[in-house]
Chains A and B, each alone.
Chain A
Amino acid sequence: MIVNEQLAIDHGLKKDEYAKICELLERTPNITELGIFSAMWNEHCSYKSSRLHLKKLPTKGKKVIQGPGENAGVIDIEDNDAIVFKIESHNHPSFIEPYQGAATGVGGIMRDVFTMGARPIANLNSIHFGSPQHKKTKNLLRGVVHGIGGYGNCMGVPTVAGQTSFDSSYNGNILVNAMTLGLVKKDKIFYSKAAGLNKPVIYVGSKTGRDGIHGASMASASFDDEIEEKKPTVQVGDPFTEKLLLEACLELMAGDSIIAIQDMGAAGLTSSSIEMASKGNLGIEINLNEVPCRESKMTPYEIMLSESQERMLIVLENGKEKQAKKIFDKWNLDFAVIGKTTNTKKIQLYFDDEKVADIPVNTLVENSPMYDRKWKKAKLPKKNKIKKENLKNLKIIDVLKKVLVNPNICSKEWIWQQYDHTVMGDTIQKPGGDAGVVRVHGTNKAVAASVDSSAVYCWAHPLTGGKQVVCESFRNLIAVGAKPIAITNCLNFGSPENEDNMGEFVECVQGIGEASEYLKFPVVSGNVSFYNQTKNEGIKPTPAIGGVGLIKDYNKMITMDFKEISNVVLVIGKTEGHLDQSLFARNILDEKNGPPPEINLFNEKNNGETLLKLIENNLIKSAHDVSLGGIITAVVKMCIKGKKGINLNKPKYLINEMEYFFGEDQGRYIIEVGKKDIKKVTDILNKNSVHFDELGTINVNELYIDDKTKVSIDELTVSNTNWLSDYMSN
């Protein structure tokens, strides 16, 4: 095949990028080389539009063992234990083929984690669908949930938390972000940096097939009318093989024969071999005839670009091949020595005794394009003047009932019951709470994890939205009694070639950076997914933040269910009654303009840390962060979980009760306190200058507002719980 500019463009490269390739090579690339360049230089692998901005994120901290740049981030949780974690997107494939797209997303992120020597102990996900009325939504949701469950359940890793949202901006581009946490001993972490000359390069796992060729390129382009034709670019998952691969890798890792290890994810053998060579400042020579293939007559081009799943590349110590092979034989997995490390600093490929590629590694990595894309700064929208008479006509219970069946508020039990969330026997907080919590096996410690995003806020004002998501993650961890340690981010945006979308990206990243810096909540891993758009219609900017925290004594973990009748309920943090961009404003008043709630990082940190103090002193019976739907939604969810009611006081100051109960001011938590502890609690809150209001006291099973209005919690429970299952079965 003749390689020319047109062929390069068909591979998703730009004209000037093709010219740069010819210049770097000082010749025209052959077809295999062109394929390799297109795979390494696409947005998904090269981060060419985002690198410049990602550099600004705070990535260091006392507890950070490994920041971005490896397969996953690593944090210290003391006693020689470490947590490896990362979130990754699988948006494009999941829209085209929801089951396999979501399944391989989960498989891929787990591989990233166990590549580093960690046994996966918890999965999470953040999934976003179009409007419930859209014709594709139901099937996509069902397919994605089945896919996530199909893979995670088979692997025997509990799915402990997640987030699901619906918004018409995802009608043509759903989001599927999967996150995994793994546990490893601090002195047994494995990295992808190759070292030493003439070391054997080993291929293990599944055979290479023709699936997923150009997957990474597909994920680097917008959708058009012909997306269905891209189905063959979606990989097919085999969780059983991955389970074997996990066990075999961990068995091999128990010894000392591995120099470097890298999973074959996006761009398969290409990116894994180049990454290892690049990090080690070495060359790698591969004989492609040695690569185990599933199909006959695969060309070098296909072998290098296949995204077949469940494969790993390992650089081994010399002489350890036999011992390693024995382990993979035991687990019935392919094991092949396919090449060696060299001092050429080139990637050199041979096939049928011919050299089929010869590329300096630095041209693929350091010299890959980096763009300072044009972007537009977003203005802070003007505050809406919501007319008081619009609020006066509303009855609080009627509004509450509507809010509780809103697809973004309703219980997601239909989803998480399909995920095995209890396997491994350490899940002490199940999905449906503020964060999932798993014990560190055999210890008194537990790790909490949460995944959050607030696309509406980010859309209204990206800088504020970016900060808000980090704060919400911080809050969700604190609400279960965990000290927040670090985050991973999955940045889902439209096209970087559009100035507005690029602006959303730049400012969300800035917001994330500011909040994580202030809260000492650094970013240790992440992933960028651009081109979430169909034709010219992009998604709302949706950075998803996965937060991880530590609970030193798991007996002190907090859940959100109300515990005891007559206990007192407080809201921590000041309520100003911010309605713009709230669920109430958007869905009840149909008012879509205005700024998102303001973020005050000082209050966020102070309120959170003070609550942690209260928890540490055993003064809190239950806690829940206040987010979408405001105070009353948060309180009712605690009632539903605890099968209790509450006598709510009306606010004594300033504002309309709709603003008070449905406003989405930030930095707030609802807490339940025993009667005898109330003075101690309020003293500590006052001493730390934390604002609080007394909301009411817990009763048997009814929601009373100011003694006049009442509704039974059972009634609210039924509508909140049934909405999603009813929707899915109709």
Chain B
Amino acid sequence: MKSSVITFPGSNCDRDMDVALKKFGFKNKMVWHNDAELPKSDLIVLPGGFSYGDYLRCGSMASKSKIMKSVVNFANSGGMVMGICNGFQILVETGLVPGVLLRNKYLEFICRNVFVKINNKSNNYFNNIKNDVLEFHIAHNEGNYFCTKDQLKEIEDNEQVAINYCDENGRIEEQFNPNGSIKNIAGIFNIEKNVLGMMPHPERMIDNCLSGEDGSIFFNNLINNLK
């Protein structure tokens, strides 16, 4: 399976994602934001970081990068595109997934493990995962997912919610919401479910001696689904 990770100026989880994808069997290539063409890929990843310093709205400058035209075309033709953290913010800015990401409710950067409940497994990202709850890791300042009531209805009608913040038993309650996201939303699909944006970093959970190993479950499953 071939994957590509896009590096924007200010990306800082691009290497981590490269390491993770390779660990689980992807042949990964790093792609520069200023390139026009994507290499042949089964999966495109927009990594975390602070693209263009996030000095404008997070992700908005990166969403206008040269390579993003190709990424949008790839997604619109059914290609798998995953945005993690800043990558999620970029996806939102391109309009590939609905909604916006506001500043965290308590106005503080937050770095810690969280539990997420998988809301929809009928897609290539989560199909066949035995667990309903995964322990992931977040590290962000602007992960407070928001959308209008009408959008929310549409999102829910189309089963676009990918994962919600919860406790270890899968209870989705406000007290387990780290950043104020509407309905504890941690990740969202496009309607077709080939594009996934999420705040948690599975690539930081791929080794027992790191924060945990549930990222390994995610990546192992992902490559098997793509085969």
User: Closest CB of chain A to B210's CB: distance in Å?
Assistant: 6
User: Closest CB of chain B to A547's CB: distance in Å?
Assistant: 22
Q: Are B12 and A155 in contact (CB under 8 A)?
A: yes
B13 CB contact (under 8 Å) in A146, A156, A331:
A156
With a cutoff of 8 Å between Cβ atoms, the chain A residues found around residue B206 in the complex are 425
Q: Are B12 and A425 in contact (CB under 8 A)?
A: no
B111 CB contact (under 8 Å) in A331, A419, A555:
A419
Q: How far is the CA of A427 from the CA of B207 in the complex (A)?
A: 11
Question: Given known contacts A240-B53, A425-B204, is B209 in contact with A153 (CB within 8 Å)?
Answer: no
Q: Are A418 and B108 in contact (CB under 8 A)?
A: yes
A67 within 8 A of B: no
Question: Given known contacts A418-B111, A424-B15, is B139 in contact with A244 (CB within 8 Å)?
Answer: no
User: Closest CB of chain B to A162's CB: distance in Å?
Assistant: 13
Q: How far is the CA of A193 from the CA of B204 in the complex (A)?
A: 39
> Total contacts A to B, CB within 8 angstroms?
86
Q: How far is the CA of A423 from the CA of B211 in the complex (A)?
A: 11
A421 within 8 A of B: yes
Q: Are B50 and A243 in contact (CB under 8 A)?
A: yes
Q: Are A244 and B9 in contact (CB under 8 A)?
A: yes
A428 within 8 A of B: yes
With a cutoff of 8 Å between Cβ atoms, the chain A residues found around residue B109 in the complex are 146, 149-150, 153, 418-420
With a cutoff of 8 Å between Cβ atoms, the chain A residues found around residue B146 in the complex are none
Q: Are B210 and A427 in contact (CB under 8 A)?
A: yes
Bitwise, A416-458 to B at CB < 8 A (1) or not (0) is: 1111111111111010000000010000000000000000000
Bitwise, A538-578 to B at CB < 8 A (1) or not (0) is: 00000000000000001101000000000000000000000
Q: How far is the CA of A416 from the CA of B204 in the complex (A)?
A: 17
Chain B contacts with A in 169-227, Cβ cutoff 8 A: 201, 203-204, 206-207, 209-211
Q: Are A244 and B10 in contact (CB under 8 A)?
A: yes
Interface size class on chain A is: 20 to 34
A300 within 8 A of B: no
User: Closest CB of chain B to A182's CB: distance in Å?
Assistant: 15
- With A154-B53, A423-B13, A439-B209 already in contact, 6 other A-B pairs whose C-beta atoms are closer than 8 Å: A155-B12, A156-B50, A419-B111, A420-B111, A422-B211, A423-B48
Which 4 pairs, one residue from A and one from B, show the smallest C-beta to C-beta distance? A156-B12, A240-B53, A425-B16, A154-B50
6 contacts across the A-B interface (CB closer than 8 A): A238-B53, A240-B52, A418-B110, A418-B111, A422-B201, A425-B207
A649 within 8 A of B: no
A332 within 8 A of B: yes
Q: Are A428 and B49 in contact (CB under 8 A)?
A: no
A424 closest partner in B (C-beta)? B16
B113 closest partner in A (C-beta)? A422
B121 within 8 A of A: no
B19 within 8 A of A: yes
Q: Are B19 and A425 in contact (CB under 8 A)?
A: yes
User: Closest CB of chain B to A727's CB: distance in Å?
Assistant: 15
B137 within 8 A of A: yes
Q: How far is the CA of A425 from the CA of B207 in the complex (A)?
A: 9
With a cutoff of 8 Å between Cβ atoms, the chain B residues found around residue A149 in the complex are 109
A283 within 8 A of B: no
User: Closest CB of chain B to A627's CB: distance in Å?
Assistant: 26
Q: Are B10 and A240 in contact (CB under 8 A)?
A: yes
Q: How far is the CA of A331 from the CA of B48 in the complex (A)?
A: 18
A98 within 8 A of B: no
Q: How far is the CA of A239 from the CA of B12 in the complex (A)?
A: 12
Q: Are B50 and A423 in contact (CB under 8 A)?
A: no
Q: Are B50 and A239 in contact (CB under 8 A)?
A: yes
